[in-house]
Amino acid sequence: MRLFIKNIKQLVGTHHEDQVLVSGEEMNQLPIIENAFLAVEDGRIIAFGEMADWPGITDWRDLEVIDAEGKCVLPLWCDSHTHTVFAGTREGEFVDRINGLSYEEIAKRGGGILNSAAQMAEMSEEQLYSDALERAKKLIALGTGALEIKSGYGLSPETELKMLRVIKKLKENLPIPIKSTFLGAHALPPSYKGRRKEYVHLMMDEVLPQAIEEGLVDYVDIFTEEGYFDLEDTLAVLEAGKKYGLKAKIHVNQFNAIGGVKLAVEHGALSVDHLEVLEEADIEALKGSGTIPVALPSCSFFLGIPYTPVKPLMEAGLPIALATDYNPGSTPSGNMNFVVSLACIQMKMTPEAAVNAASLNGAAAMELSHEVGSISIGKRANFMITNPMKTFHLMPYAFGENHIETVFVNGAVFS
Give contact residues for Fe ion (rule: CB under 5 A): 325
Handedness of CA 128, 360, 218, 112 (dihedral sign): negative
- Residue 226 CA to residue 321 CA, distance in Å, equals 24
Burial class (CB in 10 A: 0-12, 13-18, 19+), 92: exposed
- Residue 376 CA to residue 278 CA, distance in Å, equals 34
Closest CA to 273 of 330, 233, 315, 227: 330
- Judged by CB under 6 A, the stretch of 126-134, 162-170, 320-328, 384-392 that binds ligand NIG is 320-328
Residue 72 interacts with which of Fe ion, ligand NIG, none, CB < 5 to 8 Å by class: none
Question: Would you count residue 327 as binding ligand NIG (CB under 6 A)?
Answer: yes
- Judged by CB under 6 A, the stretch of 141-149, 310-318, 325-333, 338-346 that binds ligand NIG is 325-333
Contact residues for 280 (Cβ-Cβ < 8 A; gap 6+)? none
- Judged by CB under 6 A, the stretch of 112-120, 260-268, 281-289, 383-391 that binds ligand NIG is 112-120
Question: Would you count residue 112 as binding ligand NIG (CB under 6 A)?
Answer: yes
Q: How far is the CB of 113 from ligand NIG (least distance, A)?
A: 5
- The binder of ligand NIG chosen from 177, 259, 329, 334 (CB under 6 A): 329
Question: Would you count residue 116 as binding ligand NIG (CB under 6 A)?
Answer: yes
Element (H, E) at 212: helix 208-213
- The binder of ligand NIG chosen from 4, 223, 307, 383 (CB under 6 A): 223
Q: How far is the CB of 407 from ligand NIG (least distance, A)?
A: 26
Q: How far is the CB of 77 from Fe ion (least distance, A)?
A: 17
Which CB, 13 or 329, lies closer to ligand NIG? 329
3-state secondary structure 303-336: HCCCCCCHHHHHHCCCCCEECCCCECCCECCCCH
Contact residues for 102 (Cβ-Cβ < 8 A; gap 6+)? none
- The binder of ligand NIG chosen from 78, 270, 299, 321 (CB under 6 A): 299
What would the DSSP string read from start to end of 130-165? HHHHHHHHHHHHTTEEEEEEE--S--SHHHHHHHHH
Q: How far is the CB of 299 from ligand NIG (least distance, A)?
A: 5
Question: Would you count residue 254 as binding ligand NIG (CB under 6 A)?
Answer: yes
Binding-site ranges for ligand NIG (CB under 6 A)? 112-113, 116, 223, 251, 254, 299, 325, 327-330
